[in-house]
Amino acid sequence: MLKFVVRRVIEIIPILIIVSMLTFLFIHLIPGDPARLVAGKDATMEEVENVRHELGLDKPIVVQYVDYMKKLVTGDLGTSLTTSLPVIDMFKSRFMPSIYLTFLSMIWATIIGLLIGVVSAVFKNKWPDYLGMVTAVSGISLPGFWLGLLLIQLFSVQLGWLPTGGIDSFKSYILPSLTLGAGIMSMIARFTRSSLLETMQADFIRTSRAKGLAERTVIFGHALRNSLISVVTIAGLQFGFLLGGSVVVETVFSFPGMGRLLIDSISFRDYPVIQSAILLFAVEFIIVNLIVDILYKVLNPKIQLNS
């Protein structure tokens, strides 16, 4: 296990280098001149050129990338072009709200998704199954921005129970987490149902029933445990996507997280913030996949992790 983890950590390095190169290249292809935005729309060409020189944007793109990587290996994420604040300081106030939102969305989506999936499998082709799958299909089909606006209209505008956006208390996380987790809940429910139905046809399940074990023990003690491998796979992948997919939800709810920061930075062509944010999302995604691989071994000790 330890060798596997060490090998995977080492493999992260070339992946991150490739991600940083592609990100650096693509953001420089974004239309617009950050030097003009920093200098102001009324600035003269000379003033814009002075700003471009101060920011190092007049250097060849290869030189800019090398300078960026030199700072990155020392933990320096650079300085924001628009706020003149260190990027790492901007992340400190935005990172944890996004993490809390993601974890909250994943927790309720996993619990409800597993519950719907198990109930649908146990009551296959009966009304609980139909109700569960209709709920799952609805969660996948509804666009996040539309669902968010719908929840704001219902629970904030009409009922006045929850805030429309920002972060004032725990209540501020409820509507964004419901919006963000709806699609994940639906996918987990569908995967749990299909995986559990397949597992319940296996020989060891028939043997367990033949031994006189209670149906609850057969389902939760044997069938569900073996079905969780595929569920963990989809949940882990979706959790990684949640970290980056919160951009739309954070924008709808004016949520001060990493997603909203990334959108604002793209609008202002703030290269250092964009590069660092995307790199951070990539690191998070890789770590989540590593945790998923380790969970495979926990759920099924027979699985051999290549080390």
* Other residues' Cβ atoms within 10 Å of the Cβ of residue 240: 21
pLDDT score, position 245: 63
pLDDT score, position 84: 78
Classified as helix, coil or strand, 86 is strand
Closest CA to 99 of 223, 243, 202: 243
* Burial of 40 per CB tally in 10 Å (0-12, 13-18, 19+): exposed
| This prediction's pTM | 0.74
Gap between the Cα atoms of 202 and 85, Å rounded: 59
Residue 183: HSE in the Cβ half-sphere, 13 Å Cα cutoff: 21
Domain coordinates in residue numbering, the chain: 2-73, 94-299
Per-residue pLDDT of the chain (307 residues), as tens digits, is 667 667 777 777 888 788 888 878 877 777 767 777 777 777 777 777 887 777 777 788 888 888 888 888 887 887 887 787 888 888 888 888 888 888 888 888 888 988 888 888 888 888 888 888 888 888 777 777 788 888 888 888 888 888 887 777 788 888 888 888 888 888 888 888 888 887 777 777 777 777 777 767 777 766 776 677 777 777 777 776 676 667 778 888 888 888 888 888 887 778 888 888 888 888 877 777 777 777 766 666 555 555 4
- C-alpha dihedral (171, 172, 176, 177), degrees to nearest 10: -40
Closest CA to 188 of 116, 285, 102, 291: 116
pLDDT score, position 94: 84
pLDDT score, position 153: 87
Closest CA to 197 of 136, 292, 302, 125: 125
CATH superfamily of 94-299: MetI-like (1.10.3720.10)
- Helix residue spans in 56-86 (DSSP H): 61-73
